[in-house]
Amino acid sequence: MNMANVLTVGRQASLSLAINALIGMIHRLTYDESRDGDIKLFEVKTRKILSYSNTIASLSNVVYVAILASNPTTAGVAVNKLDIGGLLVTIVRLFSDAKFISQVKEEFLKNGWADEVLGEKLEIPKRNIEVYYEGEDE
C-alpha cells in the first residue's frame, strides 16, 4: 500500500467520523429531558442510530462495489470505489457502541431501574385491615 492509498483511507475515515459527529450533534439538539429521560439513555439511542446508518452505508458500498466488479467493463474501477475508511469506522463503532450500550444498560439496571421497581413494589397502599390473634389478650 502506498502513501496515496493511506491518505485516501484516512480521508474516507475522517469524512465518516465528521458525518457521524454532525448527526450526533443534530440528534442531541432534539433532546428534551422531560420527554427523553436520562441523557445516557438518549446517547444510547444516538449510538444505535449511528451504528445502523453506518452499517447500512457500508453494506450498500460493498454491494455497489460487488456489482461494479461483476461487470467486466467497470471491474477495474470497482476497487477504487470501496470505502475502506468508512468500513473501518463502522467496524470500530459497532464494537465500541456495543460495549458502551451494555455498560449503560448494566449501570441503569444497577442504579435506576432496580430502585424504581423496588420502590413501586414497596409502596403498597395501606388498608384498614384488622388482624386478630388467637391467644392471650394484652
Looking at residue 46, its pLDDT comes to 93
Q: Please, is 20 exposed, middle or buried when counting C-beta atoms within 10 Å of its C-beta (0-12, 13-18, 19+)? A: buried
DSSP class of 112: I
pTM over 0.85: no
| Residue 138, pLDDT score | 47
Percentage of residues in the chain with pLDDT exceeding 90? 52
Q: Is residue 114 part of a domain?
A: yes
Residue range(s) defining the domain that contains residue 105: 3-122
**In the chain, how long is the greatest CA-to-CA distance?**
101
pLDDT given at position 5: 83
The verdict on residue 127 lying in a domain is: no
**Predicted local distance difference test score (pLDDT) of residue 124:** 44
The set of residues, in sequence order, having a beta carbon less than 8 Å from that of 12 and lying 6+ positions away, is 83, 84, 85, 86
What per-residue confidence (pLDDT) applies to 59? 96
- Counted domains in the chain: 1
User: Minimal CA–CA distance to 90: which of 137, 53, 116?
Assistant: 53
In a domain, 136, yes or no: no
pLDDT digits over 13-37, tens only?
999 999 999 999 999 999 999 998 8
Q: Encode the chain (138 residues) as per-residue pLDDT tens digits.
A: 588 888 999 999 999 999 999 999 999 999 999 998 888 889 999 999 999 999 999 999 999 999 999 988 888 888 889 999 999 999 999 999 989 988 888 887 777 656 666 655 444 455 554 545 455 554
- What is the distance between the alpha carbons of residues 14 and 49, in angstroms, rounded to a whole number? 19
* pLDDT reported for residue 112: 66
C-beta of residue 23 within 8 angstroms of C-beta of residue 48: no
Burial 125-135 (b: 16+ CB within 10 A, else e): eeeeeeeeeee
Cell numbers linked to 73: 467493463
Give CA separation, 13 vs 6, 17, 58, 91, in Å: 11, 6, 12, 11
